[in-house]
């Protein structure tokens, strides 16, 4: 009978193997040194296989992700596009509300800064269907105390005047309309003239003598002579001033201070009480129109009490 | 001539299985490869202990304690080499597992799936206990617990895997 390993032999072998490994551990701990050679062999043995397996797995993942996993992509794509469209609409709506909040904040700041001047905030609710005239409608009328010829402004400057007042709606003739005009003066020289609408985005300042020195960028303010607007409200900025040999007056083009093409909220002046335009205009003192003369306080004109 | 020593080999009615050439080596390498590879890609693979399953399977099948302990030692040392553990920790644990598994395999029938399932759970817990004990005693590392919920779950998971893996490896046996 061939030799059969005895239990003692197995146990001896087991003890030897265990002791050898314990000694191996002890050597590593005592010398704080790794058994690098064994690790190198093991890693060298396994790493090519690992690379191959990784390559295979990546191939399967790519194949799955690139082809099989795309089965429902078209439906998902369509659903996501629809969702994106809805979100775009929602985003535009929220942006609009944010802009509206900004405008209202400026309006409120302006009103707060001029709390002594009665004025009424109104919302532009529509425009004129007549393309030749620059008219807008606001959501307040005679029931709110509005009267014809009251001035309409924004924190940026003069907008126009009330042309017609109905019980709950009023018609505003914008400054840019051909029929519109406002007494104005040049901020630097205090030379007075009249700003008129042209039906175009830009205005003209008339009745300024050819002898006057007018430079582009000069601020144009209300003069108060028209008895609609108080003095020194910003009207616009000189864009160009040229001499016309046929007339004794300069041709002065003015860019309006108020954004007449995108009005949404306005303030209606309920009296002609002077405004200190350096307060709450949304501009700092350095950019605000210069007021060279003190504004004499005037008794409020006969006007209905402010309702707001 | 009769041997004076008692017969300690497999019980006469228990068959010693042999495998086609290279099956053991390939199985060991594959187990080590997957053990190193799978957890990188799949978190659940942390529960697997494929080198232990291979050790247990071949030790139970070979039914020779010397072969079993040497196989366990080789697999354990290779696993140590690919791990960050000091070399010898897995080696000692798997040497003992290989020895005991082959000793058990020599005495009882371990072909039944339920027996394999229960043996795998037992060997997993034993292997973990030896590993933890070695860490405590030899390395003074006391941050591991002997039994925790995840370890029990892992033992059951490996038992279930064994029920599928062992019949697969049975196919590579040489016909008797």
Question: Would you list the domain boundaries of chain B?
Answer: 23-170
Residue to test with chain B: of A17, A31, A51, A65, most B Cβ within 10 A: A17
pLDDT at A288 over 90: no
Say if residues A192 and A183 touch (Cβ distance below 8 Å).
yes
Backbone conformation region of residue A217, classed left if phi is above 0, alpha if psi is from -120 to 50, else beta: left
Residues of B in contact with A49 (CB under 8 A): 29, 33
CB within 8 Å: B33 and A21: no
CATH code matching the domain that covers A114-269, chosen among 3.30.70.2860, 2.40.110.20, 2.40.30.170, 2.40.10.340: 2.40.10.340
Give A206: exposed, middle or buried? Use CB within 10 Å, 0-12, 13-18, 19+: middle
Task: Find tokens 């290779």 and name the residue.
Answer: B78
Residues A241-254, mean pLDDT to the nearest whole number: 90
How many other β-carbons are positioned within 10 Å of the β-carbon of residue A262? 8
Domain ranges of chain A: 14-66, 114-269
Helix H or strand E segment including A121: strand A119-127
Distance CA B149, CA A196 (A): 88
Residues B122-130, mean pLDDT to the nearest whole number: 94
Q: How far is B132 from chain A (nearest CA, A)?
A: 14
How many other β-carbons are positioned within 10 Å of the β-carbon of residue A149? 12
- What percent of chain B has pLDDT above 90? 39
Residues of A in contact with B9 (CB under 8 A): 4-5
Distance CA A45, CA B29 (A): 8
CB within 8 Å: B89 and A25: yes
Assess: ipTM above 0.85: no
Say if residues A232 and A289 touch (Cβ distance below 8 Å).
yes
Give B34: exposed, middle or buried? Use CB within 10 Å, 0-12, 13-18, 19+: middle
pLDDT in tens, A187-242: 988 999 999 998 888 999 999 998 888 988 999 999 888 888 888 889 999 999 99
- What tokens appear for A157 in the block? 């400057």
Residue A132's pLDDT band, with cuts at 50, 70 and 90, is low
For residue B78, the chain A residue with the least C-alpha distance is: A42
Q: Give this prediction's pTM.
A: 0.48
pLDDT in tens, A61-114: 787 777 777 777 888 888 999 999 989 989 989 998 998 888 888 888 887 877
Could you say which residues from 44 to 103 on chain A have a Cβ atom under 8 Å away from some Cβ of chain B? Answer: 45-46, 49-50, 53-54, 57
Say if residues A17 and B95 touch (Cβ distance below 8 Å).
yes
pLDDT at B7 over 70: no
Distance CA A259, CA A263 (A): 6
pLDDT in tens, B43-60: 788 888 999 999 999 998
pLDDT in tens, A6-59: 668 888 899 999 999 888 888 887 776 666 667 777 777 777 877 787 788 788
B100–A contact, CB cutoff 8 A = no
Nearest to A182 by CA among A155, A151, A209: A151
Tell how far CA A69 is from the center of its chain.
Answer: 42
Distance CA B69, CA B87 (A): 16
Distance CA B70, CA B97 (A): 10
Q: What are phi and psi of B21, to 5 degrees?
A: -55, 135
Domain B23-170, CATH: 1.10.1760
Q: What is the pLDDT of residue A169?
A: 87
- What tokens appear for A104 in the block? 């209202």
Work out the angle between the directed axes of helices A36-66 and B23-41 (0-180°, nearest 10). Answer: 60
Distance CA A91, CA A53 (A): 47
């Amino acid at each position: 009978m061939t030799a059969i390993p005895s239990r003692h032999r197995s146990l001896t072998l087991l003890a030897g193997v265990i002791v050898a490994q314990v000694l191996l551990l002890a050597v590593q701990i005592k010398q704080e040194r790794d058994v690098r050679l064994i690790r190198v062999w093991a890693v060298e043995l396994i790493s090519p296989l690992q690379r191959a397996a990784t390559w295979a797995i990546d191939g399967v993942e790519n194949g799955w992700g690139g082809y099989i996993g795309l089965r429902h992509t078209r439906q998902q794509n369509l659903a996501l596009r629809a969702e994106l469209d809805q979100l775009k609409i929602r985003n535009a709506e929220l942006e609009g509300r944010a802009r509206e909040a900004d405008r209202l904040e400026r309006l409120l700041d302006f009103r707060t800064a001029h709390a002594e001047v009665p004025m009424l905030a109104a919302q532009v609710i529509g425009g004129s269907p007549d393309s030749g005239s620059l008219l807008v409608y606001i959501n307040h009328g005679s029931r709110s105390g509005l009267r014809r010829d009251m001035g309409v402004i924004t924190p940026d400057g003069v907008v126009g005047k009330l042309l017609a007042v109905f019980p709950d709606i009023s018609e505003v003739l914008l400054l840019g309309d051909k029929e519109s005009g406002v007494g104005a003066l040049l901020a630097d020289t205090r030379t007075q003239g009249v700003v008129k609408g042209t039906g175009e985005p830009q205005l003209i300042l008339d009745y300024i003598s050819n002898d006057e020195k007018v430079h582009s960028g000069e601020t144009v303010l209300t003069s108060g002579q028209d008895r609609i607007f108080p003095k020194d409200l910003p009207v616009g900025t000189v864009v160009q001033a040229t001499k016309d040999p046929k007339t004794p007056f300069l041709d002065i083009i003015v860019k309006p201070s108020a954004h007449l093409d995108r009005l949404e909220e306005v303030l209606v002046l309920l009296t002609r009480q002077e405004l200190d335009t350096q307060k709450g205009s949304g501009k700092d003192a350095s950019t605000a129109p210069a007021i060279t003369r003190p504004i004499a306080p005037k008794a409020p004109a006969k006007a209905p009490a402010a309702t707001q | 001539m009769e041997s004076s020593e008692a017969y300690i080999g497999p019980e006469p009615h228990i068959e010693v299985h042999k495998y086609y050439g290279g099956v053991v080596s390939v199985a060991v390498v594959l187990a080590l490869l997957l053990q190193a590879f799978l957890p990188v890609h799949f978190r659940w693979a942390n529960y697997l202990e494929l080198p232990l399953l291979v050790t247990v399977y071949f030790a139970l099948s070979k039914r020779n304690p010397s072969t079993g302990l040497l196989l366990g030692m080789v697999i354990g040392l290779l696993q140590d080499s690919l791990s960050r553990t000091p070399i010898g920790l897995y080696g000692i644990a798997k040497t003992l597992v290989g020895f005991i598994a082959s000793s058990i395999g020599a005495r009882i029938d371990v072909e039944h799936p339920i027996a394999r399932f229960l043996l795998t759970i037992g060997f997993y817990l034993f292997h973990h206990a030896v590993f933890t004990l070695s860490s405590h005693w030899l390395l003074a590392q006391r941050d591991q617990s002997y039994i925790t919920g995840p370890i029990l779950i892992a033992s059951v998971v490996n038992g279930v895997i064994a029920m599928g893996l062992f019949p697969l490896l049975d196919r590579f046996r040489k016909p008797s």
